[in-house]
Amino acid sequence: MDTTIISESKVKSLIQIAVQKHQSGQKGEAESLNKTQVAEILQLAVQRQRNNRLVEAQLLYIQVLEKEKDNPEALYGLGMLAQQMGQYQTAEQWLSAASQVQPDSVKAWFSLGNLYLAQKQFSEAEKAYRQALVLFPNSLPIYNNLGYALQQQGLFEEAINYYQKALELKPDFIEAEASLGNALHAQGKLSVNQQMHYAQLNNKLGVARKKALDLENAVTCYKQAIALQPDLLEAHYNLGLALQEQGKFEEAIASYEKLLELNPNDGETYLNLGKIYQQQNQFQKAVSAYQQGLKLINPHYAKALATDKKAEISQQISFTPPISQGEVILGKHRFLAIPPVAADKEKRPFWSVVLPIYSTNNRTNYLFECLVSVLRQWSGEEEMEIVVVDDASPVSLKDLVDEIGQGIIRYYRNSQNRGAYQNFNTAITISQGQWIHLLHDDDYVLPGFYARLRQSLETCPPSIGAAFTGYENVNEQGKVVFSQQIYGNNRGIAENFIQMIGLVNPLNMPAVVVRRSTYEHLGGYLSELNYTGDWEFYKRITAFYDWWYEPEILARYRHHTHSITTESVLSGSQGTCLRRAIEISEDYIPVEITAKSRSYHFNYFLSQAQIPLQLDKLEGALRMVQEALKIDSSSGAVAHLFTWLQHDEAALLRDEITSRLISLPLK
């Protein structure tokens, strides 16, 4: 998506005015803004920029410039913002203007040098760094970057001089030490042992750059490490990962293949290759790579394949049985009964990992990753059963599941679509394990999820009815966008959890496991709550049981445009489900907590109404507003709604409401 909101001509005009104002000695026009207000706007702009809300940050910087034409902080901020957007020419214009308006600004010159360096304009970068160095002598980053700019121009001796100056000031400055080694290597002045030392340094520096989300420089560091030590396995692996994250799949494959030439038994590399082939829709290659990786990582999986467990796979699709019609009654509400496991079942596995799925073409890719994340932790059929319950997907997924599951995974298919939460109940009924983990096909678990939880749950008190771990949300590309550790690092019983879960749902399903006996006692999920059935059930658990908290981040929930969540927000049904989840739980959650939840969700519904509104889905927005009033119709809430409707962003909705009122027949 293009985040630019000002034209090139507007940029040039603002820059020209800023420079002219400064050169003429005129002060910026304060107009209606005083110094305190300008400072507050700039602070807010920086915050928006850090939070990646780039358009908002850009608007705020422009707002300052329109009042103070030569404000150096606004010019500098716009320069860094343009660079962040990848608009290097515009960034250069802003930063150059900032350096002219405030010639003694070290950060303006240094950032300008970095901008030139990123574009491989080494001579220009050198000039900017030298100007910065005049203003701020003995600066470690300037010494290092100036040295690099000189090195890229073949001026090795002068470059080495600046690296050494940096190291004299800070002997453990890894950036300068690595750069020094690279310069010496380019001149052929390193012994074999020295090359190995500097290779490790470059790899370490690459890891640091990747952690800072600077993938471009991370790749450069890894490649330099490999140039110094061609058999450095870690550098090959890290290079493949960085290239994969950049979407440079062919280069990543080449890096992984080189690593496998050096170490054919690296299971993680095969799994990474499988993920790339999966993203490229090369499913046979993906399955082959995944299988090889799983065999190398998980001896239980390897043993299952060696004993030809695949021969046990039935050629016939197993259809799921009808849902039990029994009920569990709590207060005035009825929930589907989950029948207990048959008494003649001699030995039950500790885990039932159950995937209630409904996959279309745009979600099948995720299913691979999900299944692999479980299979790598599979500890044998006596310890863990893995069950897939397909809710009548358009095309049967049995072949896909069997291909990767190799007879380990049991596949069932509903004869007709039952809906998400009814399918959850079906999956739970089929399960035999002591603890059940419901896992969406687009989510996945991280290594150690089952082992770490089992270590705690095997000895936990019987009051524990469910447990959860820390988790992360990822986007469609697998990038982490949110992280949650509700109780920090404090492992144990979740204290006062009812206060939290009663207000809003802080959990995501892939991070949650539930004792099967808890389902047998409290019943299953309500199918009417297409969006919030899990929240209502978690509140039900909290009213009768304790929760165990495992702090490590061990699960990932995926945000994407084809999820139930997205559909419910756009249609407004999210509001209906949330309201019903609150109403139902009033039978077993203290009234003061649900009252707070009603107030919280009234405001939440109004904020969520803006999403369908921005996409011209007025019916969805109207439904959210209606649900807001149903959840809180107090005079204060109604007054707040009228105030909210006066905002510009609610104009379309306001007009629609007015139109509908006008069209009502008069009696």
pLDDT at 85 over 70: yes
Longest dimension (CA), the chain: 97
Nearest Cα residue to 212 out of 232, 242, 240:
242
The Cβ of residue 548 has, within 10 Å, a number of other Cβ atoms equal to 23
- Tell me the C-alpha distance between 605 and 622, whole Å: 10
Residues in the chain: 667
At what angle are helices 398-405 and 283-297 packed, to 10 degrees?
Answer: 30
Ramachandran area for residue 137 (φ above 0: left; ψ -120 to 50: alpha; else beta): beta
Nearest Cα residue to 89 out of 121, 59, 61:
121
Burial 135-165 (b: 16+ CB within 10 A, else e): beeebebbbbbbbbbbbeeebbeebbebbeb
- Tell me the C-alpha distance between 213 and 215, whole Å: 6
- Tell me the C-alpha distance between 209 and 524, whole Å: 47
- Residue pair 312/407 in contact (Cβ under 8 Å)? The answer is yes
- Residue pair 90/8 in contact (Cβ under 8 Å)? The answer is yes
- Tell me the C-alpha distance between 480 and 557, whole Å: 10
Q: What is the pLDDT of residues 628-644, one digit of tens each?
A: 999 999 999 999 888 88
Q: What is the pLDDT of residues 290-300, one digit of tens each?
A: 999 999 999 99
Exposed / middle / buried, residue 462 (Cβ in 10 Å: 0-12, 13-18, 19+): exposed
Output the pLDDT for position 565: 66
Segment 82-86 mean pLDDT:
87
Residue 121: both structure tokens together: 């304009």
Confidence of residue 26 (pLDDT cuts 50, 70, 90): low
Half-sphere exposure of 378 (CA within 13 A, CB side): 30
Nearest Cα residue to 227 out of 253, 196, 250:
196
Residue 532: both structure tokens together: 């919030």
Segment 495-505 mean pLDDT:
96
Q: Say how far residue 657 (Cα) sits from the centre of its chain.
A: 37
Confidence of residue 2 (pLDDT cuts 50, 70, 90): very low
Helix and strand numbers (H, E) in the chain are: 30, 13
Most confident of 51-60, 392-401, 555-564: 392-401
Confidence of residue 477 (pLDDT cuts 50, 70, 90): confident
Give all domains of the chain, ordered by start, each with its CATH number.
318-562 (3.90.550.10), 585-662 (no CATH)
For the chain, percent of residues with pLDDT exceeding 90: 65
Output the pLDDT for position 359: 78
Which position has the token pair 């009696």? Answer: 667
Lowest mean pLDDT among 7-16, 92-101, 620-629: 7-16
Segment 303-308 mean pLDDT:
82
In this structure, the strands spanning 409-413 and 318-319 are parallel
CA distances to 86, 260, 330, 374, 595 from 592, rounded to whole Å, are 50, 60, 20, 40, 5
Q: What is the pLDDT of residues 261-285, one digit of tens each?
A: 999 999 999 999 999 998 898 989 9
One DSSP character per residue, 278-346 reads HHTT-HHHHHHHHHHHHHHH-HHHHHHHHTTGGGG--SSPEEPPPPP--EEEETTEEEE--PPPPTT--
Q: Regarding predicted confidence, which is higher, 572 or 380?
A: 380
- Residue pair 411/318 in contact (Cβ under 8 Å)? The answer is yes
Q: What are residue 328's phi and psi, to 5 degrees? A: -115, 125
Which residues neighbour 616 within 8 Å (Cβ) at sequence distance 6 or greater?
652
Residue 367: both structure tokens together: 């299913």
Nearest Cα residue to 39 out of 71, 80, 85, 79:
71
Nearest Cα residue to 354 out of 419, 411, 287:
411
Most confident of 20-29, 64-73, 424-433: 424-433
Q: What are residue 19's phi and psi, to 5 degrees? A: -65, -40
For the chain, percent of residues with pLDDT exceeding 70: 91
- Residue pair 454/382 in contact (Cβ under 8 Å)? The answer is no
Rounded to two decimals, what is the model's pTM?
0.81
Output the pLDDT for position 3: 45
The Cβ of residue 358 has, within 10 Å, a number of other Cβ atoms equal to 21
